[in-house]
């Protein structure tokens, strides 16, 4: 893994991996959503509103997974000073924020007919909203650090501290009374019928592949910007000495 911290090796890997992840993600996501919308039967209690499950659950998974990526990349930057680790953390932030926002929006739409309310300040919904605000704060902080030339350690530390919220989201329905249902899928078992479980797992896989492709594309763009800025600085320095 240390070898791929080299920008040249990373670009060689990302050059063929990005389109592979993107195309496979688009195919799997489209197929799973079509399966969930047109082939899955209505739920006995929720009816056709259950179909939002195939967007809501993958979005929730990647909203949390994106911050885990930020925390791991931030730790790698702080401990090993990997040159691409800070870029990887920044690359996870925007898609992670988008998926967290989609999770909140679809959860609200799903909650209206199911719970009779658009929003409830319970543990799961509130902690997920906190995650969305953490993303906004991290993105703003990273942009400010880049603009002002401050230390990249600042957003890295913020990214690691913010990871405290991830287990809170995960265990919130166990720790507090909640309108949100408990986890239907746990390690080694599931209470969900196979008619819903299989297309849901396919949707999670497809969304995850798309997320990985977007992160790689953002890393390549951020790296290109950094290299272009470094060339401009060297040129400006050379012109000044000339």
Tens of pLDDT, residue by residue over 65-105, are 999 999 999 999 999 888 789 999 999 999 999 999 999 99
pLDDT at 191: 64
pLDDT at 2: 54
Residues 98 and 91: their CA atoms lie apart, in Å, by 12
**Among 65-69, 92-96, 148-152, 184-188, the least confident range:** 184-188
Residues 210 and 95: their CA atoms lie apart, in Å, by 10
Q: Are 152 and 77 a contacting pair, CB within 8 Å?
A: yes
Q: Express as a percent the part of the chain with pLDDT over 90.
A: 57
Q: Which residues contact residue 135 at a Cβ distance below 8 angstroms, ignoring those fewer than 6 apart?
A: 66, 67, 93, 96, 97, 100
pLDDT at 233: 59
Buried b (16+ CB within 10 A) or exposed e, 17-41: ebeebbebbeebbeebbebbeeebe
pLDDT at 100: 97
Q: Residue 180's pLDDT band (boundaries 50, 70, 90)?
A: low
Residues 17 and 38: their CA atoms lie apart, in Å, by 31
Q: Residue 157's pLDDT band (boundaries 50, 70, 90)?
A: very high
Residue 34 clears pLDDT 90, i.e. is over it: yes
pLDDT at 54: 94
pLDDT at 149: 76
* Local structure of 47: helix, strand or coil: strand
pLDDT at 136: 97
Residue 223 clears pLDDT 80, i.e. is over it: yes
Q: What is the pLDDT of residues 14-23, one digit of tens each?
A: 899 999 999 9
Using CB atoms within 10 Å of the CB of residue 177, give its burial: 0 to 12 exposed, 13 to 18 middle, 19+ buried: exposed
**pTM given for the model:** 0.89
Average pLDDT for 25-49: 90
Residue 1 clears pLDDT 90, i.e. is over it: no
Comparing 140 with 190, which gets the higher pLDDT? 140
Residue 170 clears pLDDT 90, i.e. is over it: no
Q: Residue 29's pLDDT band (boundaries 50, 70, 90)?
A: very high
Q: Residue 120's pLDDT band (boundaries 50, 70, 90)?
A: confident
Mean pLDDT computed over every residue of the chain? 87
């Amino acid at each position: 893994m240390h070898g791929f911290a080299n920008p040249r090796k990373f670009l060689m890997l990302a050059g063929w991996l990005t389109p592979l992840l993107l195309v496979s993600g688009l195919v799997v996501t489209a197929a799973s959503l079509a399966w969930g919308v047109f082939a899955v039967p209505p739920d006995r209690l929720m009816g056709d509103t259950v179909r939002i499950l195939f967007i809501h659950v993958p979005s929730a998974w990647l909203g949390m997974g994106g911050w885990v990526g930020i925390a791991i990349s931030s730790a790698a930057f702080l401990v090993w000073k990997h040159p691409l680790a800070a870029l990887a953390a920044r690359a996870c932030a925007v898609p992670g924020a988008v998926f967290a926002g989609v999770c909140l929006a679809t959860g609200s739409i799903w909650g209206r007919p199911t719970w009779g309310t658009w929003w409830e300040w319970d543990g799961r919904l509130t902690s997920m909203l906190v995650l969305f605000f953490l993303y906004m704060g991290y993105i703003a902080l990273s942009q400010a650090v880049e603009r002002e030339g401050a230390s990249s350690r600042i957003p890295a530390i913020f990214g690691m501290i913010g990871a405290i919220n991830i287990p809170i989201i995960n265990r919130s329905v166990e720790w507090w009374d909640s309108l949100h249902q408990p986890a239907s899928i746990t390690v080694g078992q599931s209470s969900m019928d196979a008619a819903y479980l299989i297309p849901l797992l396919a949707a999670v896989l497809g969304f995850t592949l798309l997320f990985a492709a977007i992160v790689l594309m953002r890393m390549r763009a951020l790296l290109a910007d950094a290299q272009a800025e470094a060339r401009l600085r060297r040129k400006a320095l050379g012109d000044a000495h000339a």
